[in-house]
Amino acid sequence: MDLLEKCRAYAWADEVRDAGLYPYYPAFQGAVEGGQAVLDGAEVCMLGSSNYRALSSNLQVVGAAQDAIALYGTSTTGSRLLNGNLDLHEELEADLANYLGFEAALLFSTGYTTNLGVVSCLAGRGDQVYLDEKAHASLIDGARLSAAAGAAVLQFRHNDPDDLARQLATAPTRSALVATEGVFSVEGDLAPVPELVAVCEEYGATLLVDDAHGVGAIGRGRGVIHHFGMGGRVPLMTLSFSTSLASQGGAVLADARTIDYLRHTSRPQIFSSGLSPADTAAAHASLREIRRRADRASDAVAAAEHLRAALDAIGFDVAGSDSPVVPVRFSDQVAVLTAQRVLVDHGIHTSALLPPACQGYQLRIACTAAHTPEVLDAVIGVFAALREDLLSNPRRVA
Ligand code: PMP
């Protein structure tokens, strides 16, 4: 059997396509505006993105990206360490650090490589990594690299500081990294940051909060750490620019010594090109807008609360709280794929998540500032009208 035999034998996607239920890689035509996107020539309400502040087509953000291309060109053409460093990068790092309450920041080319680069660089032989069991794949993959370098990687129960404390109490050394999401991207709940801080401080562990889904949307825009009044108590924070900052890229925030260490030793940082001028400028323009309009930060959360309550009342199994993410749970793969298809046929785009992206079967619905009560009431009307179709699963996948 040659290496590619597994690819030739791979049947799952074809089976789902043949059943007319394939939901992945939809090709949208154009930008999302006012919460609406165009799919197969028809308008759909975009409830599957993490564009919480609806800034991806904001005129200032788009203009900043255009101006950066005009002035800096399209590429950094190399690693920042050598030739790809721009004043744009350093200005964004300074503003992020200042806004989020850390000494320094370091950009990476995606949120994924941020987590990969931070975890794998900081934890190695003789260290332990404790992951919330529902932590994002990028934190898990960073920990896998740490394990390859000799770290012990363990999990604690989701949002359970007591379980973490029990494990840290018997840990062989105090050289531990504890990693969690701030707002869980799939479950839509918040990490208990004060309790995690207390446990980490008691056992001398270093806490990393990945707040990809909190910055912009929680804590008047400053994320989950500030939402809980824990500024200055969490030593490491990461974020993605592909959510509220409406761009591409990511960043880690920490004390200046840690950032300098990462700048010189984190492999995804030094062996990959600097963030493009357009992405850097767009993220910076979004950050300015988020700072300027702290009063709009909770719009997406308020929209999600409205939708969550209505779907619950109609009889859907909804979860999540205090965040823009509304998970709707289904019994199995066919049920969730059928629901996704029925909704898209009626002008609503949501994301169907299956294992390993989540531990069950769910539609991930995410609200943004563009989802006004009128838009959501129309969505709720569709859910109500289709309740029977959505909750039954008439189509079968082979
Ligand atoms: N962390 C979390 C919690 C995420 O949900 C994601 C995906 N949006 C990432 C990291 C990776 O971010 P990016 O898309 O910028 O690679």
Question: Which atom, in ligand 1's list, is nearest to the CA of 249?
Answer: 15
Select from 292, 311, 330 the last residue of a domain: 292
Q: Is the CB of 185 under 6 A from ligand 1?
A: yes
Phi, psi of 212 (to 5 degrees): -50, -35
Instruction: Give the residue-averaged pLDDT of 100-110.
Output: 98
Residue 64 Cα to ligand 1 midpoint, Å, equals: 23
Task: Decide: helix, strand or coil at residue 125.
Answer: coil
pLDDT tens, position by position, 224-270: 999 999 999 999 999 999 999 999 999 999 999 999 999 999 999 99
Is the residue at 13 inside a domain? no
Residues 158, 285: one domain? yes
pLDDT of amino acid 395: 54
What pLDDT, in 10s, does the model give residues 276-301?
999 999 999 999 999 999 999 999 99
Quote the pLDDT of residue 59: 97
Check residues 396 and 154 and name the one with the higher pLDDT.
154
Tell how strand 325-330 and strand 361-366 pair up. Answer: antiparallel
Q: What is the pLDDT of residue 340?
A: 96
DSSP classification of residue 353: E
- Expressed as residue numbers, the domain containing 324 is 20-52+298-390
| Half-sphere CA count of 386, side-chain side, radius 13 A | 21
Q: Whose CA is nearest to atom 13 of ligand 1?
A: 111
| Closest approach atom of ligand 1 to CA 181 | 3
pLDDT at 397: 46
The pTM (predicted TM-score) of the whole model is 0.97
Q: Is 178 helix (H, G, I), strand (E, B) or coil?
A: strand
State the distance from the centre of ligand 1 to the C-alpha of 172, rounded, in angstroms: 31
d(CA 397, ligand 1 centre) in Å: 30
Q: Are residues 77 and 37 in the same domain?
A: no
Length of the chain measured in residues:
398
The whole-number pLDDT of residue 390 equals 78
pLDDT of 394 strictly over 80: no
Q: Is the CB of 187 under 6 A from ligand 1?
A: no
pLDDT of 277:
98
Query: Which residue bears the tokens 């010189």?
Result: 264
Query: Measuring CA to CA, how many Å separate 34 from each of 89, 127, 241, 328, 372?
Result: 30, 47, 20, 23, 9
Banded pLDDT at 398 (limits 50, 70, 90): very low
Out of 270, 292, 314, pick the residue that ends a domain. 292
Does residue 166 share a domain with residue 313? no
* Phi, psi at 318, each rounded to 5°: -105, 155
Query: What was the pLDDT predicted at 48?
Result: 96
Ligand 1 atom nearest the C-alpha of 138 is: 10
Residue at 374 is within a domain: yes
Structural tokens at position 67: 């101006």
- pLDDT tens digits for 116-160? 999 999 999 999 999 999 999 999 999 999 999 999 999 999 999
Asked whether the predicted pLDDT for residue 180 surpasses 90, the reply is: yes
Across the range 372-397, mean pLDDT stands at 82
Q: Are residues 116 and 47 in the same domain?
A: no
Quote helix, strand, coil % in the chain, to nearest 5. 45, 20, 40
Q: Are residues 237 and 352 in the same domain?
A: no
For residue 111 and ligand 1, the question of a CB distance below 6 A is answered with yes
Where residue 393 falls among pLDDT bands split at 50, 70, 90?
A: low
113 and 45, same domain (yes or no): no
Nearest ligand 1 atom to the CA of 185 is 5
181 lines ligand 1 (CB under 6 A): yes
**Closest atom, ligand 1, to C-alpha of 186:** 5
Same domain, 208 and 86: yes
Among 49, 109, 112, 189, name the best residue to mutate to test ligand 1's pocket (greatest count of ligand atoms within 8 A of Cβ).
112
pLDDT, mean over the chain: 96
6 located within any domain: no
Tell me the pLDDT tens digit for each residue of 347-364: 999 999 999 888 899 999
| pLDDT given for residue 174 in this prediction | 79
SS (H, E, C) 205-235: CEEEEECCCCECCCHHHECHHHHCCCCCCCC
- Within this chain, do residues 217 and 348 fall inside the same structural domain, yes or no? no
| Same-domain pairing of 268 and 382 | no
Closest atom of ligand 1 to 115 CA is 10
Ligand 1 close to Cβ of residue 242 (< 6 A) = yes
Cα–Cα distance for residue pair 219/350, rounded to 1 Å = 26
Sheet containing 250-254: which strands, arranged edge to edge? 104-108, 250-254, 236-240, 206-210, 176-181, 128-132, 152-156
Distance from the CA of 52 to the center of ligand 1, in angstroms?
14
Question: Are residue 142 and residue 202 in the same domain, yes or no?
Answer: yes
| 304-357 pLDDT tens trace | 999 999 999 999 999 988 999 999 999 999 999 999 999 999 999 999 999 988
pLDDT of 396 reads 47
Do residue 206 and residue 330 come from a single domain? no
| Rg of the chain (C-alpha set) | 21
- Does any domain span residue 398? no
Question: What's the CA-to-centroid distance between 393 and ligand 1, angstroms?
Answer: 31
**Closest-lying ligand 1 atom to the alpha carbon of residue 184:** 3
Domain boundary pick from 269, 292, 315:
292
Q: What percent of the chain stands above pLDDT 70?
A: 98
**Best substitution site from 119, 158, 185, 364 to test ligand 1's pocket, by max atoms within 8 Å of Cβ?**
185
pLDDT for the residue 389 = 78
Evaluate: CB of 138 within 6 angstroms of ligand 1: yes
Pocket test for ligand 1, best of 138, 272, 280, 325 (most atoms within 8 A of CB): 138
Cβ of 238 less than 6 Å from ligand 1: no
The verdict on the CB of residue 108 being under 6 Å from ligand 1 is no
